[in-house]
Structure 1
Amino acid sequence: MSGRMQASGAALPILALVVGMVSIQSGAALAKGLFPVVGAAGVTTLRVCFSALILLAVWRPWRRGPERREIGAIALYGAALGLMNLLFYLALRTIPLGVAVAIEFTGPLAVALAGSRRWLDFAWIALAVLGLGLLLPLGEAGRLDPTGAALALGAGLCWAAYIVFGQRAGRAGGGRAVSLGMAVAALVVAPVGLAEAGTDLFTPATLGTGLVIAVLSSALPYSLEMFALTRLPRPAFGVLMSLEPAVASLAALALLGERLSPVQAVAIGCIVAASAGITLAGRRARQGQ
């Protein structure tokens, strides 16, 4: 009976996490459809600026400003967040959504593997490298756009920095740090988006679509992820999040008609397996200490 109750209690946060992943990847697919109108940088600006306004309205961080020692961490966190979004959307111009997410996922995977010394961790590294080797245009020219792949790798690097700086910024208070960091991200990307799209950003239809993208890609999934994170064991949360590249591929197929080649599907599977494996291996290592 207790096992059934535990399973029932875990069902809702698991569902919330899956819905959050579907939401954020659906938002990315919708954003890609807006590229011909305002460009990738313009879409990034709409998403980040609307997200910042929503988060600032919810958390109202001005009620207690950050301390001087917290300002630097929040600024670095926000800059990493803004660049991560910008580079990811720029990558989507030339490579499929699922592939871009898989390449970007190497950022948090690298953070998880940092400092690893066990042989099993190196096996997961090898599996992730295999997946990247299958995706990146290392052997066959034109298999994947080199610029798009490089931008996705850059987004992954920014994701790693976002995690590191986010942990430091979080000491200022989770909600306050996120809202202030998103405001910094808006300041980073807005000049680029305005330079690319100009006044086209401010048409009612574009603003409305940008608001929907912001809700789908930031406000809703971040809230659902926080709900799940507080109710699921961290290893379970990590394993489920490892499915995001696969979810992105399905969303891209359903909403954009993007089909993966068999090699790309295997590559994404390798990266998903490596991410899930290192999460579970880390849990066992902590239990053995």
Structure 2
Amino acid sequence: MSRPRVPAPALFMLSGLSQYLGAAIAVGLFAVMPATTVAWWRIAVSAVLLLAWRRPWRQSWTWRHVGGSALFGVVLGGMNLLFYVSIDHLPLGTAVSLEYLGPVAVAAVGGRGRRIRVAIAVALLGVLAISGLGLDWSAPGTAVGVAFALAAGAAWAVYIVLGRRIAAGRSGLDSLAVAMAVGALVYAPVTAGTAGTPLAAPVLLLAVVGMGVLSSLVPYAIEQVALTRLSAATFALLTALLPATSLLVGLVVLAQVPTAGEVLGLVLVSVAVALASQPPGRPSRVRGAR
């Protein structure tokens, strides 16, 4: 069995950088469109591109596979909508850190061994440092942003579990194309009266297309590859790289300077990633794992 040439942490850094560069574009679009409309455009653009690339109708589908992909799309679309509302009220790094509680919960349920338990604990401390010390609860909208970020984290946890099952059962990218299309259709009503805004200006249309490519097409394609060879618990812990990446993008692109608590949390999360990335005591094949 051939081993992946690109290490999983490197894949996740590429995924996170692309995803949060797209989120930075989204933050700029909030000035002209509601956050829910921006999120829907992200889903819709990704659906069109994935359908054109994968052409999933060429494959044979059972009702079970269609139903599973449709459920995945509803969860995925909901996660995107919740997250975009949260970053409309919170700094990017803070929202991502709170959202990360979802993957930590998956790791806590699915992980085994002392090392992974320590990694989970350190990652959780990192998230608490970033969110607890970095939040200004007196600022307007903070409570709303926190609530939506936590809800996005819960949806993220479900996404991880469903995504691994779908990727293991058939072509993950084909299922992702169907899921994105379903998500775009299901959540289209949230854009009532505002969906046509990007069509009025070529610059806005280019921005939403770029956002869709960077935020969804690239990272989700990478994650579908990773999900086929990693357990859900390991996948969840490797996503600890995402808060660090979001803090970097927020600082460089959006000029969101991290607090001391965010820096402390970043260090703790990095330690957790290092622990989770170490090989187990005995060889283990993760492809097709439970």
Q: TM range, normalised to the smaller chain?
A: 0.7 to 0.9
Counterpart Cα distance in 1 of 2:63 and 2:6: 40
- 1:168 paired residue among 151, 165, 174: 165
Q: Name the % identity.
A: 35
Cα distance per residue 1:166-199 (max 9 Å; x no partner):
223331421211100111111232211235x243
- What residue identity is the alignment partner of 1:284? P
Name the stretch that deviates more: 115-124 or 68-77: 115-124
Counterpart Cα distance in 2 of 1:77 and 1:55: 15
Which segment drifts farther, 114-123 or 158-167?
114-123
Q: Which has the higher helix share?
A: 1
Instruction: Please identify, of 254-263 and 170-179, the stretch whose mean Cα deviation from structure 2 is larger.
Output: 170-179
1:202 equivalenced with 2:199 (yes/no): yes
State the match for 2:104 in structure 1: 109
Q: How is 1:117-156 mapped onto 2 (pairs within 5 angstroms)?
A: 118-136=113-131, 141-142=137-138, 145-156=142-153
Partners in 1 of 2:156 and 2:235 — Cα distance? Answer: 18
Query: What is the CA–CA distance in structure 2 between the aligned matches of 1:66 and 1:157, rounded to whole Å?
Result: 29
Residue 70 (structure 1) aligns with? 65
2:34 partner SS: helix
**Structure 1: tracts of 5 or more residues without a match:** 1-5
Structure 1 partner of 2:38: 43
TM-score, normalised by the number of residues in structure 2 = 0.81
* C-alpha contact 1:66 1:172 (8 A) present in aligned 2: no
- Structure 1 252/167 Cα, relative in aligned 2: closer, same or farther at 3 Å? same
Classify 1:65/1:207 alpha carbon distance in 2 versus 1 (closer, same or farther; 3 Å).
farther
Q: Show structure 2 runs of 5+ residues with no match.
A: 286-290
Give the aligned length.
Answer: 278
CA contact (8 A) 1:91 1:151 kept: yes
Q: What are the residue-to-residue correspondences of 1:183-202 with 2, within 5 Å?
A: 183-195=181-193, 197-202=194-199
Q: Distance in 2 between matches of 1:279 and 1:188?
A: 37
